[in-house]
Amino acid sequence: MNNQIKTFLLLAGLTVFLVFIGKLIGGTGGMQIAFVIALAMNFFSYWFADRIVLRMYGAQEVSEAEAPELHRMVEELSRAAGIPKPRVCIIPTDNPNAFATGRNPEHGTVAVTTGILRLLTPRELRGVLAHEIGHIRNRDILIQTVAATLAGAIMILADMARWTAIFGGGRDEEEGGLGVLGLIVMAIVAPLAAMLIQMAISRSREYIADETGARLCQNPDALADALEKLAYGVQVAPMQANPATEPLFIVNPLSGGGMMSWFSTHPPIEDRVARLRAMRSY
């Protein structure tokens, strides 16, 4: 399935799920209250998260004089993407990684670590930068914020269900409610389901950024080679990353295969590399 369509269907699924459990747990009023609270939280995140995360990891903006090659790559790729040139920052850590942030293409920032600058060749680094500029071009920060808003509202409703069950509230099953047992089950299942859908959206956006980046740098193998190096590099030099910021990075050292991939914000590296290699025949 096309990843753009998959993202749309997952967002629609989150919305329907929110409405459904909102009516079951707290009626229309409870659903609206939860949504407003989550929307306010994520509105703040959307406008200020870029500054917060850059400060969190000690990212320092660098000038063209300080990093001419890095700036040249970013400028060429952003021109190819048809977006304004993002700010360029460097994070002082051995962990080889990179991320993009900013609420829209006019306020984008690309951040790379000193570790990735040492590990990758210029060709591979260009592939990584193309991936990050792909995130900015595709407005993934906005999409992730919408997903987080919906998931946050669902989790607030789940908390309402838990406290309602503890204090013996809620509508009886005969009245169309869930009953105490139903509220307890919903309080457990709803956050897990919302988290799984939100992570699936994050994985879909990674695949899209990989494809966009490969086309921008016109070299799918460059990004594929970089991902293979990074998968090993982040294990050798792990970063003490805040779990809330893991989806930002190009590779996630906590992702795993098998069933654990359901709980990862990133697709398995092997799958991403295989898709990029397949693009050579296009």
**Tokens 């951040």 label which residue?**
111
**Tokens 């859908």 label which residue?**
197
Alpha-carbon distances of 123 from 70, 79, 242, rounded to whole Å: 12, 18, 29
Single out the catalytic residue among 76, 106, 124, 132: 132
111 touches 57 (CB < 8 A): yes
What 3-state DSSP class applies to 218? Answer: coil
Q: Which two tokens stand for residue 41?
A: 């939280």
Residue stretches of the annotated binding site: 131, 135, 206
With helix as H, strand as E and coil as C, how does 124-171 read? HHHHHHHHHHHHHHCCHHHHHHHHHHHHHHHHHHHHHHHHHHHCCCCC
Annotated catalytic residue 132: yes
Torsion angle of the four alpha carbons 74, 43, 51, 196, in this order, in degrees rounded to the nearest 10: -70
Residue stretches of the annotated binding site for Zn(2+): 131, 135, 206
Residue of 149, 155, 151, 158 whose CA lies nearest to 25: 158
**Residues labelled as active-site residues:** 132
